[in-house]
Structures are given as C-alpha cells and as structure tokens.
C-alpha cells in the first residue's frame, strides 16, 4: 500500500502539471454534445430519444483523447524502464496509471454530464441510470485504453493506431450503457444492462493490468 500511495502521488502531481489535458477532454465532451442540436434540430422529443447515445459517444471519444499519453511521458524520459526494473509489480503501476487517467478524465466527464442532460432534454427519471452507466463504463474505457496505449507505445501515429485498436473493444460498453438508458425511457428495467457493465468492469480490472504490463515490458525490451 505504501508503494501504491507513492506511485499515486507521483502520477497525480504529473497530471496536475498537465491539467490542460483534462480541460481539453471536458471541452471536447461539451462541444461535441452541444453541436448535435444544431445538426438534428432542437425538437425536444428527438433530443430526449437520442440524448443518452449522443452523450455516451461524446464521452467515449473524449476519453480517448488522452489515452495515448498514459505511458508516453515515462517512455520518453526513460522512467518507464526504471518502473519495469523496480521491485514494485508492474501491474500495480498500470493500475495507478489507469486510476489517475480515470480521475482526470472519466470523473470530470461524470461531473459535467448533468449539465448536458439538461441541454439534450434527457428526462430526469433516467438521470440516475445514465450516471450509473458512466460510473461503471468510464473505468472500462481507461482500462482497455491502457492496453492500446501500451501496444502503440513508440509507434508513429500512435494515437490513430490506438483508436483503431481500442474502438472495437469499446463498442459493447457503448451498447449496454445506451441500452440501459433506453430501457428506462421505454418503461423496462435497466438492471440487466447495469449488471453487464459491472461484469465488464470486473473482467477488465482482472485482465487488463496483466496484458498491459506484458506489453510495456515488450516496449522497453
């Protein structure tokens, strides 16, 4: 736990020095959602119907903006090699990186989401479900993004390659998250979709640190 605390403090300090990345993510999220009413029209019923999907697509794309930077700084300055050679398990380092990414991208998206619910005329009775989908789904985005960030480390146009690798893996998250909102909107229960999202989170939490750590070892080999 002491190693976790030291690593977490280090990552949060680095993240605070690059706070413009978090601002960029939030700004993209807000702007992407705001543009939709101009494109499809301001009709309230239509906005309410497409609102959950629009917000989730924008959140997914916004979270991907900073995924390629998850390990890049340490890779460029040589810190990653020290982390790989240190006695601290590399899987623990990956978990700290993922947690920091979620706190600086996923959590701000969740905090900003209610404002966009109002803008998209999303019915208030599905707000709790949508917030729960974001709470369960955004950590999965960070966990799966860590795999893509490690696999594309040092590659030219790594951001584009990361998108091609990670986006197909994120489609189930998008489907179940939007499905939960639609289920409540049409009078059905969202429990099944939320449980599937929870299962995906547990599965990603169990598997992705090991995969990411192996990819990082290959990147510095």
Please count the structural domains in the chain. Answer: 1
CA distance linking residue 167 with residue 152, whole number of Å? 14
Sign of CA dihedral 175, 95, 213, 79: positive
The range of the structural domain enclosing residue 43 comes to 2-220
What is residue 177's predicted lDDT score, i.e. its pLDDT? 93
Helix (H, G, I), strand (E, B) or coil at 82: helix
The residues of the chain scoring below 70 in pLDDT are 1, 157-159
Look at residue 138 in the predicted model and tell me its pLDDT.
Answer: 94
98 is written with which tokens? 């993922």
Per-residue model confidence as pLDDT tens digits over 196-208: 999 999 999 999 9
Q: What is the pLDDT of residue 158?
A: 63
How is residue 191 written in tokens? 């429990």
Distance of CA 160 to the CA centre of its chain: 16
pTM score: 0.90
């Amino acid at each position: 736990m002491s190693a976790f605390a030291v690593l977490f403090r280090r990552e949060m300090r680095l993240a605070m020095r690059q706070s413009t990345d978090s601002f960029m993510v939030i700004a993209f999220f807000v702007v992407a959602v705001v543009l939709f009413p101009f494109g499809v029209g301001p009709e309230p019923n239509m906005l309410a119907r497409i609102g959950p999907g629009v917000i989730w697509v924008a959140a997914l794309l916004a979270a991907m903006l900073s995924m390629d930077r998850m390990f890049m700084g340490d890779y460029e300055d040589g810190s990653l090699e020290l982390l790989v050679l240190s006695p601290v398990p590399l899987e623990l380092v990956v978990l700290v990186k993922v947690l920091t990414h979620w706190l600086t991208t996923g959590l701000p998206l969740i905090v900003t989401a209610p404002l966009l619910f109002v803008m998209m005329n999303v019915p208030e009775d599905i707000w709790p479900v949508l917030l729960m989908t974001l709470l369960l789904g955004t950590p999965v985005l960070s966990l799966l993004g860590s795999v893509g960030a490690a696999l594309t480390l040092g590659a030219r146009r790594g951001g584009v390659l990361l998108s091609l690798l990670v986006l197909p893996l994120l489609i189930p998250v998008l489907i179940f998250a939007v499905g939960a909102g639609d289920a409540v909107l049409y009078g059905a229960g969202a429990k099944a979709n939320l449980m599937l999202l929870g299962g995906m989170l547990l599965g990603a939490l169990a598997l992705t640190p090991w995969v990411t750590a192996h990819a990082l070892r290959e990147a510095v080999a």
